[in-house]
């Protein structure tokens, strides 16, 4: 489904991702984990086509998105849902309008159909009856739910999450993890979740890719990663234990 071949990314003189090779299977949940500044968000932005690699190929289905024009990329992105670190909601719009925004921008769906989708997606994230509320009235966890509802409005094949529980307390984090799992099961999507939280990663992922200083140093199932002999991987578990 997604395949990175020898992907490098530099900003100016500085290479921040080195020869990344990674395959993400259809329907799996992959957690990308690593310390602050290790290159997780850069990797995610490459996958979404927000930035382009300095070298290498990024295959989404049968297209190398590194070679696409902006217009072609827009089309590919319609099949992707994105939940960013900061919920990035439009504060001046109701929750319902936030969820509907992309549908109104990019489709010709009639308003009744858009309203039906908004209601359905808000229900899926546990926010029935929130459509008329303003983002400023919501807690951090609820805002995350709204951004997830927005991300799934189009019926994406792949959902990308960048630090979905950053800034949330452990209880909220667990709830967001549950929601990611629930979404995964309900919609049967491929999910890529960037996090620095090993507990979360173990809870939600089928496999974990560990990024350290711009390289993937481990890529395995949760069970195998837990038993890794690599000192850098073990050190990461210790910091979160
Ligand atoms: P993470 O998400 O793991 O915390 P990032 O991918 O955001 O890490 O950043 C990895 C490295 O790349 C950091 O050293 C960061 O300063 C650098 N970096 C990220 N984006 C840019 C940019 N647009 N220009 C220059 N350097 C950047
Ligand atoms: Mg980041």
ipTM of the complex: 0.98
**Amino acid 148: pLDDT:** 93
Contacts of 103 (CB under 8 A, 6+ apart): 109, 114, 117, 153, 154
Ligand 1 atom with least separation from CA of 40? 3
State the alpha helices, DSSP H only, in 3-137.
40-48, 70-77, 95-106, 111-124
CA of 34 to the centre of ligand 2 (A): 9
Contact 44, 162 (CB under 8 A): yes
**Amino acid 239: pLDDT:** 67
**Amino acid 85: pLDDT:** 79
List the residue whose alpha carbon is closest to atom 20 of ligand 1.
42
Ligand 1 atom with least separation from CA of 162? 2
3-class DSSP assignment, residue 145? helix
List the residue whose alpha carbon is closest to atom 24 of ligand 1.
11
Start-to-end CA distance of the chain, whole Å, equals: 33
pLDDT of the chain, 241 residues: tens digit per residue: 899 999 999 999 999 999 999 999 999 999 999 989 999 999 999 999 999 999 999 999 999 999 999 999 999 998 999 998 777 899 999 999 999 999 999 899 999 999 999 999 999 999 999 999 999 999 988 999 999 999 999 999 999 999 998 888 888 899 999 999 999 999 989 999 999 888 899 999 999 999 999 999 999 999 999 888 888 888 877 766 4
Contact 87, 144 (CB under 8 A): yes
**Amino acid 76: pLDDT:** 93
Q: Is 37 in the pocket of ligand 1 (CB under 6 A)?
A: yes
CA of 123 to the centre of ligand 2 (A): 29
């Amino acid at each position: 489904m997604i395949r990175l071949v020898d992907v490098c990314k530099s900003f100016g003189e500085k290479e921040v991702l080195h020869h990344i090779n990674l395959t993400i299977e259809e329907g799996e949940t992959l957690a990308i984990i690593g310390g602050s500044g290790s290159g997780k968000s850069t990797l995610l932005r490459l996958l979404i086509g927000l930035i382009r690699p300095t070298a290498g190929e990024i295959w989404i289905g049968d297209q190398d998105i590194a070679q696409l024009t902006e217009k072609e990329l827009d089309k590919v992105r319609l099949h992707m849902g994105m939940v960013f670190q900061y919920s990035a909601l439009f504060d001046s719009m109701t929750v319902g309008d936030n969820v509907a925004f992309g549908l109104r921008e990019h489709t010709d769906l009639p308003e009744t159909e858009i309203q039906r989708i908004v209601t359905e997606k808000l229900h899926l994230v546990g926010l029935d009856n929130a459509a008329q509320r303003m983002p400023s009235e919501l807690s951090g966890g609820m805002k995350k739910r709204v951004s997830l509802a927005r991300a799934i409005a189009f019926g994406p094949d792949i959902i990308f999450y960048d630090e979905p529980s950053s800034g949330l307390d452990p209880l909220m984090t667990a709830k967001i993890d549950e929601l990611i799992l629930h979404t995964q099961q309900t919609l049967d999507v491929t999910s890529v979740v960037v996090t620095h939280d090993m507990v979360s990663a173990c809870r939600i992922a089928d496999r974990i890719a560990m990024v350290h200083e711009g390289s993937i140093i481990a890529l395995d199932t949760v069970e195998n990663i837990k038993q890794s002999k690599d000192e850098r991987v073990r050190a990461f578990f210790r910091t979160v234990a």
